[in-house]
Amino acid sequence: MTVRIDPEGNEIDALFDLVELEGRQVLEIGCGDGRLTWRYADRAAHVTAIEPFEDAIARARTRLSDAPNERIGFHHVAFEDFAAASDADVFDVALLSWSLC
């Protein structure tokens, strides 16, 4: 049995209703396998997608190699480590979908 998450597009529609992504620098915290990332990345100037779980980020990177998108950078790193090493001023929007940090 194939599981389809949000086949009606309610989640992405709600996201687009709540935040302007056009031309923005986006930080996606807890991107998982990129399930949501692919659905909005074409609107953003660039997406930095971080994920602490190596298997999930490996799936996201495989997906990226199958359908290249120069706007997306996937990074295997925990939020705490990323935040300690990054400048928060470079992002316009931060997204967390199904993530706890």
Q: What is the pTM of this model?
A: 0.86
Domain CATH code at residue 62: 3.40.50.150
- In this structure, is residue 68 part of a structural domain? yes
Strand order in the sheet with 72-76: 72-76, 46-51, 25-29, 93-96
- In this structure, is residue 77 part of a structural domain? yes
- In this structure, is residue 10 part of a structural domain? no
Q: Which residues span the domain enclosing 37?
A: 20-96
| Cβ-contact 32, 51 below 8 angstroms | yes
Question: What is the percentage of the chain residues whose pLDDT exceeds 70?
Answer: 90
The predicted-structure confidence for 57-99, as pLDDT tens digits, reads as follows: 999 999 888 777 899 999 999 999 999 998 878 999 999 876 6
CA dist 84 and 76 (Å) reads 15
- In this structure, is residue 12 part of a structural domain? no
CA dist 82 and 74 (Å) reads 12
- In this structure, is residue 56 part of a structural domain? yes
- In this structure, is residue 70 part of a structural domain? yes
Query: How many domains are there within the chain?
Result: 1
Q: Is 50 exposed, middle or buried (0-12, 13-18, 19+ CB in 10 A)?
A: buried
- In this structure, is residue 8 part of a structural domain? no
